[in-house]
Homo-oligomer: A and B are copies of this chain.
Amino acid sequence: MSEATERDERHLARMQRKKAVIDERIANSPNECGLLLVLTGNGKGKSSSAFGMLARALGHGMQCGVVQFIKGRNSTGEELFFRRFPEQVRYHVMGEGFTWETQDRQRDIAAAEAAWAVSRQLLQDPSVQFVVLDELNIALKHGYLDLDQVLSDIQGRPPMQHVIVTGRAAKPEMIELADTVTEMGMLKHAFQAGIRAQKGVEL
């Protein structure tokens, strides 16, 4: 048997075992339920990831809601894009800018509270199947919102509703409540090399 054929055979045997394991796990998992996903860490991709899942949800015809707790200094591409689908996405930009832009803690708190009021409406509406709470972790980290209230509102949502929470420094209690948590680590960032934020990538 040639070396290439042997490698192919080994590959086949390994993949057959892997398929059996995965098929069994899928067969044993419950069918459907609303998940809480948390995307945290210092790396790039937390909000992008939430918006990629939003695109998926739209592809499946779901009704979606977005609340952005921190508005960047530029009008962002995702807002420009997802506002094209008002019949499927309720899009709310509530924050006043990064904390180092507003420089006013009381104004930040008022903005976060207004954003949470809108979020609660989404979390109480069974017709909304998919909710993005973008940068909520930052509002919690700065103590702008009551953590217990936030967790209890998320926990009390309709059972089939998915919720995606983004932002660095997720609270341990948020991680505890979540079904899936990804920690995005920055191995390298163009900004370190002096490259400005780019349209389509960061903006």
Question: Chain A residues in contact with chain B, CB under 8 A?
Answer: 7-8, 11-12, 15-16, 18-19, 22, 25-26, 28-33, 35, 37, 39, 41, 43-60, 62, 76-82, 99-106, 129-130, 162, 175, 178-191, 193-201, 203
Contact = CB atoms under 8 A, between A and B. Distances in A.
Q: Which 4 A-B pairs have the closest CB atoms?
A: A56-B77, A59-B81, A57-B200, A59-B77
B29 A194 contact: yes
Contact of A43 (B19, B183, B189, B194): B183
B179 A195 contact: yes
9 contacts: A12-B105, A16-B100, A19-B103, A45-B49, A49-B52, A56-B81, A59-B78, A59-B79, A60-B199
A51 to B, nearest CB: 3
Nearest to A19: B100
B81 A58 contact: yes
A18 B100 contact: yes
What is the total number of copies of this protein in its complex? 2
Contacts of A182: 43-45, 184-187
Nearest to A9: B105
Given A184-B183, A189-B180, A201 B162 contact: yes
A48 B53 contact: yes
A203 B56 contact: yes
B44 A198 contact: no
A74 to B, nearest CB: 10
A77 B51 CA distance: 12
Given A29-B194, A193-B179, A199 B57 contact: yes
Given A35-B190, A196-B26, A198-B32, A51 B55 contact: yes
A47 B35 CA distance: 18
